[in-house]
A and B are shown apart, each in its own frame.
Chain A
Amino acid sequence: KAGVTQTPRYLIKTRGQQVTLSCSPISGHRSVSWYQQTPGQGLQFLFEYFSETQRNKGNFPGRFSGRQFSNSRSEMNVSTLELGDSALYLCASSRGLAGGSNEQFFGPGTRLTVL
Protein backbone atom coordinates (compact mmCIF):
# COMPACT_ATOMS: atom_id res chain seq x y z
CA LYS A 1 0.00 0.00 0.00
CA ALA A 2 1.52 3.29 -1.06
CA GLY A 3 2.11 5.87 1.64
CA VAL A 4 1.32 9.56 1.66
CA THR A 5 3.08 11.34 -1.17
CA GLN A 6 3.91 15.02 -1.35
CA THR A 7 5.13 17.04 -4.29
CA PRO A 8 7.40 18.76 -4.80
CA ARG A 9 9.90 17.65 -2.15
CA TYR A 10 11.90 20.86 -2.32
CA LEU A 11 10.95 24.35 -3.42
CA ILE A 12 12.74 27.68 -3.49
CA LYS A 13 10.72 30.85 -3.88
CA THR A 14 11.27 34.57 -3.35
CA ARG A 15 9.33 36.91 -1.11
CA GLY A 16 5.99 38.00 -2.52
CA GLN A 17 5.54 34.94 -4.70
CA GLN A 18 2.90 32.31 -4.15
CA VAL A 19 3.30 28.54 -3.94
CA THR A 20 1.09 25.46 -4.25
CA LEU A 21 1.96 22.19 -2.55
CA SER A 22 0.30 18.89 -3.31
CA CYS A 23 -0.55 15.87 -1.17
CA SER A 24 -1.90 12.48 -2.20
CA PRO A 25 -3.27 10.54 0.78
CA ILE A 26 -3.20 6.80 1.31
CA SER A 27 -5.85 5.07 -0.75
CA GLY A 28 -9.12 4.95 1.19
CA HIS A 29 -8.19 7.83 3.49
CA ARG A 30 -10.62 10.72 3.34
CA SER A 31 -8.97 13.15 5.75
CA VAL A 32 -5.92 15.24 4.95
CA SER A 33 -4.25 17.49 7.51
CA TRP A 34 -1.49 19.99 6.87
CA TYR A 35 1.22 20.98 9.34
CA GLN A 36 4.07 23.49 9.31
CA GLN A 37 7.30 22.37 10.97
CA THR A 38 10.02 24.85 11.91
CA PRO A 39 12.94 24.61 14.36
CA GLY A 40 11.52 27.48 16.42
CA GLN A 41 7.81 26.70 16.50
CA GLY A 42 7.85 22.93 16.07
CA LEU A 43 4.87 21.21 14.48
CA GLN A 44 1.91 23.51 14.05
CA PHE A 45 -1.47 22.51 12.68
CA LEU A 46 -2.62 24.42 9.59
CA PHE A 47 -5.93 22.82 8.57
CA GLU A 48 -7.73 19.56 8.02
CA TYR A 49 -9.92 18.59 5.09
CA PHE A 50 -12.45 15.80 5.06
CA SER A 51 -14.76 15.02 2.16
CA GLU A 52 -13.68 18.19 0.34
CA THR A 53 -14.63 20.41 3.30
CA GLN A 54 -12.31 22.23 5.67
CA ARG A 55 -13.15 20.79 9.10
CA ASN A 56 -10.44 22.33 11.29
CA LYS A 57 -8.23 25.35 11.02
CA GLY A 58 -5.18 26.36 12.99
CA ASN A 59 -4.02 29.84 13.89
CA PHE A 60 -2.45 30.91 10.60
CA PRO A 61 -3.14 34.02 8.48
CA GLY A 62 -5.44 33.93 5.50
CA ARG A 63 -2.44 33.75 3.15
CA PHE A 64 -2.49 30.03 3.92
CA SER A 65 -5.32 28.21 2.21
CA GLY A 66 -6.10 24.76 0.98
CA ARG A 67 -8.58 22.59 -0.80
CA GLN A 68 -9.41 18.96 -1.25
CA PHE A 69 -10.59 17.23 -4.38
CA SER A 70 -13.15 14.48 -4.80
CA ASN A 71 -10.37 11.87 -4.93
CA SER A 72 -9.17 13.13 -1.49
CA ARG A 73 -6.01 14.66 -2.92
CA SER A 74 -5.28 18.00 -1.35
CA GLU A 75 -3.42 21.15 -2.23
CA MET A 76 -2.13 23.88 0.00
CA ASN A 77 -1.48 27.40 -1.21
CA VAL A 78 0.56 30.14 0.38
CA SER A 79 0.27 33.60 -1.17
CA THR A 80 2.55 36.62 -0.76
CA LEU A 81 5.36 34.54 0.69
CA GLU A 82 7.36 35.88 3.62
CA LEU A 83 10.80 34.82 4.83
CA GLY A 84 9.16 33.30 7.91
CA ASP A 85 7.20 30.89 5.74
CA SER A 86 10.37 28.88 5.17
CA ALA A 87 9.56 25.52 6.72
CA LEU A 88 8.89 21.86 6.19
CA TYR A 89 5.23 21.45 5.24
CA LEU A 90 3.85 18.09 6.21
CA CYS A 91 0.70 16.41 5.04
CA ALA A 92 -0.96 13.62 7.00
CA SER A 93 -3.86 11.41 6.03
CA SER A 94 -6.30 9.33 8.06
CA ARG A 95 -9.42 7.33 7.33
CA GLY A 96 -11.67 9.67 9.26
CA LEU A 97 -11.12 12.91 11.10
CA ALA A 98 -7.66 12.72 12.72
CA GLY A 99 -7.54 11.53 16.30
CA GLY A 100 -8.71 8.64 18.43
CA SER A 101 -8.76 5.42 16.46
CA ASN A 102 -8.01 7.29 13.25
CA GLU A 103 -4.24 7.18 13.07
CA GLN A 104 -2.50 9.87 11.06
CA PHE A 105 0.10 8.85 8.51
CA PHE A 106 2.55 11.57 7.54
CA GLY A 107 4.18 12.18 4.19
CA PRO A 108 7.87 13.10 3.83
CA GLY A 109 7.09 16.79 3.58
CA THR A 110 7.86 19.62 1.20
CA ARG A 111 10.85 21.76 2.19
CA LEU A 112 10.01 25.36 1.25
CA THR A 113 12.73 27.97 1.29
CA VAL A 114 11.78 31.63 0.83
CA LEU A 115 14.61 33.96 -0.21
Chain B
Amino acid sequence: QQQVKQSPQSLIVQKGGISIINCAYENTAFDYFPWYQQFPGKGPALLIAIRPDVSEKKEGRFTISFNKSAKQFSLHIMDSQPGDSATYFCAANVPVYGQNFVFGPGTRLSVLP
Protein backbone atom coordinates (compact mmCIF):
# COMPACT_ATOMS: atom_id res chain seq x y z
CA GLN B 1 0.00 0.00 0.00
CA GLN B 2 3.03 2.21 0.38
CA GLN B 3 4.04 1.72 -3.26
CA VAL B 4 3.90 4.27 -6.03
CA LYS B 5 3.81 2.75 -9.51
CA GLN B 6 5.27 4.66 -12.44
CA SER B 7 5.16 4.18 -16.19
CA PRO B 8 6.67 4.05 -18.71
CA GLN B 9 10.13 2.93 -17.63
CA SER B 10 11.64 4.82 -20.55
CA LEU B 11 10.33 7.32 -23.06
CA ILE B 12 11.68 8.72 -26.31
CA VAL B 13 10.12 11.91 -27.64
CA GLN B 14 10.95 14.18 -30.54
CA LYS B 15 11.88 17.78 -29.82
CA GLY B 16 8.71 19.85 -29.55
CA GLY B 17 6.56 16.87 -28.61
CA ILE B 18 4.63 16.16 -25.41
CA SER B 19 6.13 13.82 -22.81
CA ILE B 20 3.66 12.09 -20.49
CA ILE B 21 4.63 10.09 -17.42
CA ASN B 22 2.02 8.38 -15.26
CA CYS B 23 1.95 7.37 -11.62
CA ALA B 24 -0.54 5.49 -9.49
CA TYR B 25 -0.85 4.92 -5.75
CA GLU B 26 -2.98 2.96 -3.29
CA ASN B 27 -2.58 4.75 0.03
CA THR B 28 -5.36 7.34 0.25
CA ALA B 29 -3.53 8.99 3.15
CA PHE B 30 -0.94 10.37 0.72
CA ASP B 31 -1.58 14.07 0.34
CA TYR B 32 1.53 15.54 -1.25
CA PHE B 33 2.75 14.46 -4.67
CA PRO B 34 6.06 15.90 -5.95
CA TRP B 35 7.88 15.19 -9.17
CA TYR B 36 11.66 15.17 -9.22
CA GLN B 37 14.06 15.52 -12.14
CA GLN B 38 17.48 13.91 -11.99
CA PHE B 39 20.36 14.44 -14.38
CA PRO B 40 23.30 12.00 -14.50
CA GLY B 41 25.74 12.65 -11.67
CA LYS B 42 23.31 14.90 -9.82
CA GLY B 43 20.81 14.45 -7.04
CA PRO B 44 17.06 14.70 -7.76
CA ALA B 45 15.65 18.23 -7.91
CA LEU B 46 12.04 19.16 -7.19
CA LEU B 47 10.28 20.02 -10.42
CA ILE B 48 6.66 20.56 -9.44
CA ALA B 49 4.31 19.29 -6.76
CA ILE B 50 0.58 19.03 -6.15
CA ARG B 51 -1.88 18.37 -3.37
CA PRO B 52 -5.04 16.34 -4.05
CA ASP B 53 -7.37 19.30 -3.51
CA VAL B 54 -6.59 20.53 -7.04
CA SER B 55 -6.86 18.61 -10.31
CA GLU B 56 -4.13 20.38 -12.23
CA LYS B 57 -1.07 22.51 -11.60
CA LYS B 58 0.99 24.18 -14.29
CA GLU B 59 4.45 25.69 -14.08
CA GLY B 60 5.86 26.77 -17.40
CA ARG B 61 6.03 23.78 -19.71
CA PHE B 62 5.38 21.33 -16.86
CA THR B 63 1.86 20.31 -15.79
CA ILE B 64 0.68 17.83 -13.17
CA SER B 65 -2.76 16.32 -13.70
CA PHE B 66 -4.30 14.70 -10.64
CA ASN B 67 -7.23 12.25 -10.56
CA LYS B 68 -8.11 11.64 -6.93
CA SER B 69 -10.85 9.07 -7.58
CA ALA B 70 -8.56 6.99 -9.78
CA LYS B 71 -5.60 7.54 -7.45
CA GLN B 72 -3.47 8.55 -10.41
CA PHE B 73 -1.37 11.54 -11.32
CA SER B 74 0.71 12.39 -14.32
CA LEU B 75 3.41 14.76 -15.49
CA HIS B 76 3.07 16.42 -18.88
CA ILE B 77 6.05 18.17 -20.45
CA MET B 78 4.94 20.39 -23.29
CA ASP B 79 7.28 21.39 -26.13
CA SER B 80 9.86 18.88 -24.90
CA GLN B 81 13.49 19.94 -25.37
CA PRO B 82 16.74 17.93 -25.49
CA GLY B 83 17.68 19.62 -22.20
CA ASP B 84 14.69 17.86 -20.60
CA SER B 85 16.43 14.50 -21.12
CA ALA B 86 16.72 13.15 -17.59
CA THR B 87 15.17 10.63 -15.22
CA TYR B 88 11.88 11.68 -13.66
CA PHE B 89 10.55 10.35 -10.36
CA CYS B 90 7.10 10.75 -8.93
CA ALA B 91 6.75 10.55 -5.18
CA ALA B 92 4.13 10.64 -2.46
CA ASN B 93 4.16 11.60 1.17
CA VAL B 94 1.98 11.63 4.22
CA PRO B 95 3.18 14.73 6.08
CA VAL B 96 2.69 13.14 9.43
CA TYR B 97 5.38 12.55 12.01
CA GLY B 98 6.94 9.18 11.41
CA GLN B 99 6.18 8.99 7.72
CA ASN B 100 8.53 9.37 4.81
CA PHE B 101 8.56 9.86 1.06
CA VAL B 102 7.83 6.94 -1.25
CA PHE B 103 9.30 7.23 -4.75
CA GLY B 104 8.26 5.68 -8.03
CA PRO B 105 10.89 3.64 -9.90
CA GLY B 106 11.64 6.45 -12.35
CA THR B 107 11.21 7.17 -16.07
CA ARG B 108 14.21 7.82 -18.28
CA LEU B 109 13.21 10.46 -20.81
CA SER B 110 15.20 11.06 -23.98
CA VAL B 111 14.24 13.99 -26.18
CA LEU B 112 15.68 13.70 -29.67
CA PRO B 113 16.86 16.89 -31.41
Question: Which A residues are within 8 Å of any B CB, using their own CB?
Answer: 4, 33, 42-45, 48, 55-56, 58, 90, 92, 97-100, 102-109
Indicate if the CB atoms of B43 and A92 lie closer than 8 Å: yes
* Residue total for B at the interface (Cβ-Cβ under 8 A): 24
Question: Which B residues are within 8 Å of any A CB, using their own CB?
Answer: 32, 34, 36, 41-46, 49, 89, 93-95, 97-106
Indicate if the CB atoms of A55 and B97 lie closer than 8 Å: yes
SS class, residues of chain A in contact with chain B: strand
The residue from A33, A42, A102 contacting B106, defined by CB atoms under 8 A apart: A42
Q: Shortest distance in angstroms between A82's beta carbon and chain B's nearest beta carbon? A: 22
The residue from A44, A99, A103, A106 contacting B43, defined by CB atoms under 8 A apart: A106
Indicate if the CB atoms of B45 and A106 lie closer than 8 Å: yes
Indicate if the CB atoms of A98 and B97 lie closer than 8 Å: no
- Across-interface contacts of B101 in A (CB, < 8 A): 33, 45, 98-99, 104
Chain B CB count within 10 A is highest, among A92, A104, A107, for A104
Indicate if the CB atoms of A108 and B99 lie closer than 8 Å: no
